[in-house]
Homo-oligomer: A and B are copies of this chain.
Amino acid sequence: MTTEGTSATPPPTTPEPGFEPTVCVLGVGLIGGSLLRALGAKRAFGWNRSAPTAEAATAAGFDVSTDLAHTLRLAAERDALVVVAVPLPALDATLGAVAEHAPGVALTDVISVKAPVLAAVRRHGLAARFVGGHPMAGTAHSGWDATDPALFRGATWLVAADDDADPHTWRRVAAMASECGSRLVAATSVEHDAAVARISHVGHVLAEALALAGARGGDLALALAAGSFRDGTRVAGTAPDLVRAICEPNRDALLGVLDEVLADLTAARGSLTAEGTLGPLVDDGHRARRAYEAVQGARESQAERDSDGDGDGDGPVTIRPGAPGWLDVLRAAGAQGHAVALAD
């Protein structure tokens, strides 16, 4: 252990409001490792199950052990914010260790579904100081070698606004995400899972189907493929185990969206057969893409105005965790696609 955080006296830096410098990252693959690197070795330490990854992180100057009990005891001593960054199949074992070795720590996660994580946290009796999170960032690559301290810069970081959320932990998670350069959006875990089934998980399924349809055309088809096929199949390049780990835990929400998509495609097929036209899908889809561009455009304009620093009040909705009605404010902002920011 060589980080400044190991000394009995806190380091003499001035942290961002609400952000205590000590973060403990459990699992330093793409997301957890990028988080470690974004925060720096003075603010964050961690654990990883596999020794080669822990050694790679250690070689890069980070305090990453393969001894979960030891790391968790340190996290408890330092009142670290513990970030669960393991794949979902490893969640239960990891939370079991937290419950055993550091049951009182502030806890968050970066896993791509939120309701199943919240349910597991409750089963382990860890809900009192838990606030779920999900940085909407990633690449088709994984592991320590793919980590990038800038991975979260400009990304959206969902910070859960579930009933009974601990305001102190909420503030710490939000401050950490802001530190990493992310934009904060809040919603309940259930709202999050319904949304990501639409804008991420069903897209994975469609990309796999498109890639397969293309490859069935053989080398001629693949040779003729241009930008639209490249972009439309990009996420089919993600490792199959990772795709399953992302999509399958969100089964119920994903099934609902898959049914919608199947209905839309079947209607277009019927219209093409009967009348030679794809029907309303083309206009509806175009309008939908324009709506997406408008939301993203508003986000970019807001980011530009915010960087003006003119404080004219058109930036993110400011929030004081624990103030009366704070969770309602968070959820209302999220439902409108608005970012939030911690009040000073």
Contacts and interface: CB of A to CB of B under 8 A. Distances in A.
Contact of A205 (B218, B235, B236, B278): B278
B292 A229 contact: yes
A337 B264 contact: no
Contacts of A290: 237
A282 B240 contact: yes
Given A136-B226, A262-B269, A217 B194 contact: yes
A267 to B, nearest CB: 10
Contacts of A192: 224
A219 B336 contact: yes
Contact of A220 (B195, B223, B282): B195
A238 to B, nearest CB: 7
Contacts of A207: 228, 232, 285, 289
Contact of A223 (B205, B210, B295): B295
Interface stretch (A70-78, A81-89, A123-131, A244-252): A244-252
A185 B220 contact: yes
A266 interface: yes
Interface stretch (A16-24, A41-49, A253-261): A253-261
A206 B207 CA distance: 9
A208 interface: yes
A209 interface: yes
A278 to B, nearest CB: 6
Interface stretch (A52-60, A94-102, A196-204): A196-204
Contacts of A239: 286
A143 to B, nearest CB: 17
A260 to B, nearest CB: 6
A210 B202 CA distance: 8
A247 B278 contact: yes
A211 B289 contact: yes
Given A156-B224, A229-B200, A272-B255, A215 B288 contact: yes
Given A156-B223, A226-B156, A285 B187 contact: no
Contact of A268 (B205, B218, B222, B284): B205
Interface in A292-344: 292-293, 295-296, 299, 334-339
> Which 7 A/B pairs are nearest by Cβ-Cβ distance?
A208-B285, A219-B337, A223-B337, A215-B288, A236-B289, A211-B288, A195-B221
24 contacts: A187-B220, A194-B217, A195-B220, A202-B210, A203-B229, A206-B210, A207-B228, A210-B285, A211-B285, A211-B288, A212-B281, A214-B288, A214-B292, A215-B292, A219-B295, A219-B335, A220-B334, A228-B234, A230-B292, A231-B231, A244-B277, A248-B276, A255-B269, A258-B269
Given A156-B226, A198-B214, A206-B210, 5 more contacts: A203-B229, A216-B288, A231-B235, A232-B232, A236-B285
